[in-house]
């Protein structure tokens, strides 16, 4: 299978960088699947079922919240039935799930959230099920608006006006796909901050991994809501091509300090030493 490689040898800006869903980035037919399944699915499913219950929530008692959640569940079930009918059968037969969202999460490789536009298009999160976070706390999504959720991200969004524009894009347009990348010394899918003491650090690198999130936004027009899918991909850096490794090093070299600090990335020199040590 191809490796998503959204790295440019230029200063990284934390921006939306939306692409039309279905754009081919090297995966061919799989690009038209909202839920991407592969041979590693058993590992993802096992990891999800071991994740703490705090990684997921369902909130909102008002009628619009109930309707938005119902619209999201219907879209997810219908999409799975179309793309992966065998998985859809497993979801429908899962008697051990806590609720319909849990039933879906326990069988797919994607994490997800459901956001409703809310008052003034500020966005509100109604469902969060993120069991494989990339160093952040999914529980922060509960009851938070779009701006508050992204507050720790340097320069993103650039303003409240821009944030509302992004919410409108999620609920009224699309679907879209974007990618977020980082490098890590630990191969774990689950890199929640609470697991920091269990994860490998840059001080004791055995192998370096290139971690990419494929993020998809799907508009739900009836309730002006959106399903937000997050699929994590992990690739050992030594399995990248020589050209990709060189581009990755250059991207780290020119990365703004505030972005490097947010991503908790090493200096280019430290990264090169880590790659050499893991080769």
| pLDDT, tens digit (0-9, with 9 covering 90-100), for 95-105 | 999 999 999 99
Q: What is the mean pLDDT of residues 183-187?
A: 95
What pLDDT, on a 0 to 100 scale, did the predictor assign at position 158?
59
Decide if 230 contacts 215 (C-beta within 8 A): yes
Ramachandran assignment for 22, one of left (phi > 0), alpha (psi -120 to 50 degrees), beta (any other): left
pLDDT value at 11 more than 80: no
Nearest to 20, CA basis, from 218, 252, 159, 259: 218
- pLDDT reading at 151 higher than 80: no
Sign of CA dihedral 112, 116, 118, 123: positive
Q: For 269, how many CA atoms within 13 A lie in the half-sphere containing its CB?
A: 0
Residue entry with tokens 């008697």: 95
Q: Describe the crossing of helices 63-83 and 85-93 by its angle, rounded to 10 degrees.
A: 130
Q: How confident is the model at residue 148 (pLDDT cuts 50, 70, 90)?
A: low
Whether residue 65 contacts residue 56, with contact meaning beta carbons closer than 8 Å, is answered with: no
| Residue 55 clears pLDDT 90, i.e. is over it | yes
pLDDT tens digits, residue range 210-261?
999 999 999 999 999 999 999 999 999 999 999 999 999 998 888 888 888 8
* Closest by CA position to 88, among listed 98, 73, 71, 99: 73
Q: How many CB atoms lie within 10 A of CB 197?
A: 6
């Amino acid at each position: 299978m191809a490796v998503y490689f959204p790295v440019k040898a230029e200063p990284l800006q934390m921006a939306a960088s939306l692409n039309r869903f279905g754009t081919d980035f090297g995966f061919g037919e799989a690009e038209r699947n909202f839920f991407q399944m592969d041979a590693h699915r058993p590992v993802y499913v096992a990891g999800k079922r071991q994740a703490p219950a705090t990684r997921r929530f369902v909130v909102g008692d008002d009628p619009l919240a109930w309707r938005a959640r119902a619209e999201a569940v219907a879209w997810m079930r219908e999409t799975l039935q179309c793309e992966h009918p065998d998985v859809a059968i497993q979801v429908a037969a899962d008697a051990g799930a806590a609720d319909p969202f849990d039933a879906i999460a326990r069988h797919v490789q994607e994490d997800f959230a459901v956001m409703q536009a809310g008052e003034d298009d500020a966005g509100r999160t109604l469902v969060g099920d993120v069991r494989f976070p990339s160093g952040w706390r999914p529980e922060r999504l509960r009851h938070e608006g779009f701006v508050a959720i992204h507050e720790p991200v340097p320069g993103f969004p650039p303003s409240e006006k821009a944030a509302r524009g992004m919410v409108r894009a999620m609920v009224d347009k699309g679907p879209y796909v974007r990618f977020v990348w980082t490098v890590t010394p630990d191969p774990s899918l689950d890199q929640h901050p609470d697991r920091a003491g269990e994860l490998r650090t840059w001080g004791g690198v055995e192998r370096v991994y290139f971690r990419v999130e494929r993020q998809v936004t799907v508009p739900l027009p009836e309730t002006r809501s959106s399903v937000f899918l997050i699929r994590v991909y992990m690739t050992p850096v030594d399995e990248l091509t020589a050209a990709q490794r060189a581009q990755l090093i250059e991207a780290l070299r020119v990365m703004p300090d505030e972005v490097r600090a947010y991503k908790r990335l090493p200096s280019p020199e430290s990264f090169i030493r880590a790659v050499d040590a893991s080769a």
